[in-house]
C-alpha cells in the first residue's frame, strides 16, 4: 500500500540552502487532505524518512519528508551528522526559515487543506517539529518520536498554537530527566494541550529498525523496539484524527 503513493522531489531555497525534499501522497483521490511536515533524525533525509512519508501518504496525508541540511543530504556517520546538526542550531533563524518553507510547500500544494497542517519528527526531527510550534507556525499538531525536548527558542504564551504528542522511550538515555521536567514546565506555562507517553523499556531510536545495528556500530545507546514502534504509530494516528477534526 505505501508504495502506491505518488512521490517526487521538490526543490526550493530557504535559510541559505538549496533544499530537495521528498513529497508523497495518494494520487487516487482529488480531495483536499491534511499535510504533514516530516522531519529527520540527525542522519538527514534517508530511506527511513522517505518510507515514513509513503506510509503517511497511505493514511491519507500529503507528507513532505523534509530536507533540513540542503541538497537532500544524508550523513555518512555520527561525526558528520553531529556537524550538520550543530550547523542547524548555530543559525537558529535560518533553521526557522527552513521549517517555514516546508510549511509553505504544503500550504501551496493543491491537495492540501491549508487549515490542516502538522509537523512530526524523529530524534532531531522531534526537536525541530517542536521548534516549529515554538516559533509560531500555524500548525494543528506536533508529534515527536524519541525527540530532544530542549528549546532553542523561548515561546511566549499564545505563540505556541498546536497540540502536542510526545512519544518517548522510558529507557531513553539521551533525553535526561531534567530535560523532561523542563519540557513539562514549559508546556504548562504556555498553556499547550499536550500528551506525554513514556513507553516502558523503550530506548532512543525505538521507531527505526536500523537503530540497533547503528547503535552497535557506533557505540550509541540506540535500539529498535517493534512493539513500541507499533504502539506509538497507533498513538500518532489517533492524535492526528483528533487534531485534524
For the chain, which domains are there? 2-243 (3.40.50.1820)
Confidence (pTM)? 0.96
* Closest by CA position to 40, among listed 19, 69, 60, 15: 69
So what's the pLDDT on residue 2? 42
The tens-digit pLDDT sequence of the chain (245 residues) is 445 899 999 999 999 999 999 999 999 999 999 999 999 999 999 999 999 999 999 999 999 999 999 999 999 999 999 999 999 999 999 999 999 999 999 999 999 999 999 999 999 999 999 999 999 999 999 999 999 999 999 999 999 999 999 999 999 999 999 999 999 999 999 999 999 999 999 999 999 999 999 999 999 999 999 999 999 999 999 999 999 99
The two most distant CA atoms of the chain are separated, in Å, by: 47
Contact by Cβ (8 Å): 125, 41: yes
Please list the residues that pair with 164 across neighbouring strands: 142, 194
Amino acid at each position: 500500500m505505501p508504495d502506491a503513493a505518488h512521490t517526487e522531489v521538490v526543490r526550493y531555497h530557504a535559510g541559505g540552502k538549496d533544499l530537495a525534499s521528498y513529497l508523497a501522497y495518494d494520487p487516487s483521490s482529488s480531495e483536499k487532505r491534511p499535510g504533514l511536515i516530516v522531519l529527520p533524525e540527525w542522519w538527514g533525509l534517508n530511506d527511513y524518512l522517505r518510507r515514513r512519508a509513503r506510509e503517511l501518504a497511505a493514511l491519507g496525508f500529503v507528507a513532505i519528508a523534509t530536507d533540513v541540511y540542503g541538497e537532500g543530504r544524508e550523513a555518512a556517520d555520527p561525526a558528520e551528522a553531529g556537524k550538520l546538526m550543530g550547523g542547524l542550531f548555530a543559525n537558529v533563524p535560518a533553521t526557522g526559515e527552513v521549517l517555514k518553507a516546508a510549511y509553505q510547500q504544503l500550504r501551496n500544494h493543491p491537495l492540501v487543506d491549508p487549515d490542516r497542517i502538522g509537523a512530526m519528527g524523529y530524534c532531531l526531527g522531534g526537536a525541530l517539529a517542536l521548534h516549529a510550534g515554538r516559533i509560531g507556525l500555524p500548525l494543528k499538531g506536533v508529534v515527536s518520536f524519541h525527540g530532544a525536548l530542549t528549546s532553542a527558542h523561548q515561546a511566549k504564551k499564545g505563540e505556541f498554537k498546536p497540540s502536542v504528542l510526545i512519544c518517548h522511550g522510558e529507557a531513553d538515555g539521551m533525553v535526561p530527566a531534567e530535560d523532561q521536567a523542563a519540557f513539562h514546565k514549559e508546556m504548562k506555562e504556555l498553556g499547550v494541550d499536550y500528551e506525554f507517553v513514556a513507553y516502558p523499556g523503550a530506548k532512543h531510536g525505538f521507531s527505526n529498525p536500523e537503530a540497533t545495528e547503528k547503535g552497535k556500530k557506533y557505540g550509541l545507546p540506540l535500539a529498535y523496539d517493534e512493539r513500541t514502534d507499533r504502539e506509538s504509530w497507533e498513538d500518532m494516528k489517533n492524535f492526528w484524527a483528533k487534531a485534524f477534526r
